[in-house]
Copies of this chain bind each other. A is one copy, B any other.
Amino acid sequence: MFLQKGFTVWFTGISGSGKTTLSNLLHRGLQESGTTNVEVLDGEDIKIHLSKGLGFTKEDRDTQIRRIGWVAHLLTKNNIPNLVAAVSPYRGVRDEVRKMIVHAGGKDSFVEVFVDCSADVCDKRHLERLTSGSHAKEPEDRTWTHEPYERPHNPEVRIKTDTVSPQEGVEMILKYMRQAGLIL
C-alpha cells in the first residue's frame, strides 16, 4: 500500500554481514507491496558518486557517512523512501544522521537495521567470494572485518545473519515498519 511517506532504512554492519542482500530483498518486498518509488543508496552508487577523494581514516569515513546521510535526509524530507547500505562503523556519526533524518521526516522515519554477523562468518563469506572470482573485492574490503566497528546500542531492528535467513530478516524489518506505521 502506498503511503507516500519518506523514511530511511539504514543498514549498518561489518563487510560481508549481508547489508546489500537484505537491502535488495527489502527493496523488492516494498515494490511488491506497492511502495514503488524507493531509492537505494548502495556500494557502487556511493563509491562512484559520493566517496571519491575520501580515504579510510576515521575522519574520512565519518565524512562519507554524513554525506550519504545528507542525501538520505533530502529524500526523506521529500517523501521518497530510501534504503542505505553502508558499513558506517562509528556510532557517533550514525546518531548524527539519525537526528538529521528524524528532523526532516519525523519520529520513526529513521530505521536503523543492525546487520549483526560474527567476523569469522563474514571472513569466510569474503573468502568464498574471492575464490569464486565472481565478486572480486578490493583489498580494503578484505581487511574491513578486522577494523573498528561500534555496535548500535538501540537499533530499531537487529538481524543476526549468522543464523537468520535473508527472507526472515526482511520479514523482521517489514514487521517493524508496519508497527511504526511506515507501511500498511
Contact = CB atoms under 8 A, between A and B. Distances in A.
A78 interface: yes
B49 A53 contact: no
Q: Which of A52, A66, A75 has the largest count of B CB atoms less than 10 A from its CB?
A: A52
A71 interface: yes
Question: Which of A49, A66, A75 has the largest count of B CB atoms less than 10 A from its CB?
Answer: A49
Q: Which applies to chain A's interface (DSSP): helix, strand, loop or mixed?
A: helix
Contacts of A24: none
A67 interface: yes
A161 to B, nearest CB: 29
Contact of A53 (B53, B75, B80): B53
Interface string A69-85: 01100110010100000
Nearest to A60: B53
A37 B78 contact: yes
A21 B71 CA distance: 24
A54 interface: yes
Contacts of A39: 74, 78
13 contacts: A37-B78, A39-B74, A39-B78, A49-B66, A50-B70, A52-B63, A52-B67, A53-B54, A53-B63, A71-B71, A78-B78, A78-B80, A80-B80
Q: 7 tightest CB-CB pairs across the interface, nearest first?
A: A49-B70, A78-B80, A53-B53, A52-B63, A53-B54, A71-B71, A49-B67
